[in-house]
Amino acid sequence: MLDYEGRVFRPPSEAYSLIVQVTIGCSHNKCTFCDMYKEKKFRVRPLSEVKRDFDDARRMYRRVERIFLADGDALMCQSAHMAEILRYIKELFPECERVTSYGSPASILVKKQEELDLLHELGLQMIYLGVESGSDEVLRRVNKGETAEEIIHAGMMVKKAGMKLSVTCIAGLGSTELSEEHAVKTAAALSRMKPDYIGLLTLLFELETPLMRDWREGRFYLMNPVEIAQETLTLLEHIDAEGSVFRANHASNYVNLAGTLNRDREAMCQKLRQALAGKVQFKDERYRAR
């Protein structure tokens, strides 16, 4: 086992990947709904430490096909630093088929297009980007740190570099007050980015966050399953992202949806309409998780 610092998060699709921390924590760490890296102070790990982890992994595993670079904002390290890591991976794990990482919008926007192009050339194949919402007002309220336009631009830079783009959005993030705007503008943002993968999560509180405190103290309303289904239906009705794989089959979702846009959009809308008509059961709160 590698020695990880604090809790390590990874996308569900990286369940069987070798995970190595390139950075610790998240450089932004201020989104009001996020509890992932609150106990960590952001820093870039020295190359020698990262290389030592890879050396240990090489001794432990005969075959490593997938590598996920953690933590929340691995791409925030300088391009030369990341390039060196990617070269080391190529040398040490010639069998590796896929290297991926989280990339916050800021960590992408701070780079030139040529730098992203180079990182892709060196083996970085996919970036997981937290879009959360296409509404500037929702993004402002949850303190995401960027506007929708900036996030869309970051996503498009990733795609232009030739990398795959996997994004997540969060149903319920604007509460009922901004639900319609959140759905319509998120659909518009996704339609422009046309990510390879879209993951729609549903807002859920587990550990203490500023937004959870607002909810507990009556300043934020947490939408119920019917309201979430309506919002998701609005989002799907407005989306035009040909070829994007759409998934809302995460533990946090009340109704599981999965399909390829735009082909399966109507079938997913139909399932939501059935849920709203009481013909499909919502997931019980006890089985939801983040």
The site for ligand SF4 (CB under 6 A) is made up of 26, 28-31, 34, 36-37, 72, 104, 130
Q: Does the bond joining 249 to the residue before it have cis omega, within 30 degrees of 0?
A: no
Cβ distance to ligand SF4 smaller for residue 21 or 234? 21
Cα-only R_g, the chain: 19
Minimum separation from the CB atom of position 19 to ligand SF4 (A)? 15
Minimum separation from the CB atom of position 102 to ligand SF4 (A)? 7
Minimum separation from the CB atom of position 274 to ligand SF4 (A)? 32
Cβ distance to ligand SF4 smaller for residue 145 or 288? 145
* Integer Cα distance of 80 and 108 in angstroms: 14
Core vs surface per residue 212-248: b (16+ CB within 10 A) or e: bebbeeeebebbebebbbbbbbbbbeebebeebbbbb
Cβ distance to ligand SF4 smaller for residue 54 or 102? 102
* Integer Cα distance of 116 and 159 in angstroms: 10
Minimum separation from the CB atom of position 35 to ligand SF4 (A)? 8
* Integer Cα distance of 10 and 249 in angstroms: 16
Cβ distance to ligand SF4 smaller for residue 101 or 234? 101
* Integer Cα distance of 202 and 228 in angstroms: 8
Cα 78 to Cα 49, 56, 162, distances in angstroms: 16, 24, 19
The DSSP call for residue 111 is S
Cβ distance to ligand SF4 smaller for residue 72 or 134? 72
Minimum separation from the CB atom of position 275 to ligand SF4 (A)? 27
Minimum separation from the CB atom of position 206 to ligand SF4 (A)? 14
Cβ distance to ligand SF4 smaller for residue 26 or 96? 26
φ, ψ of residue 172 in degrees (nearest 5)? 90, -5
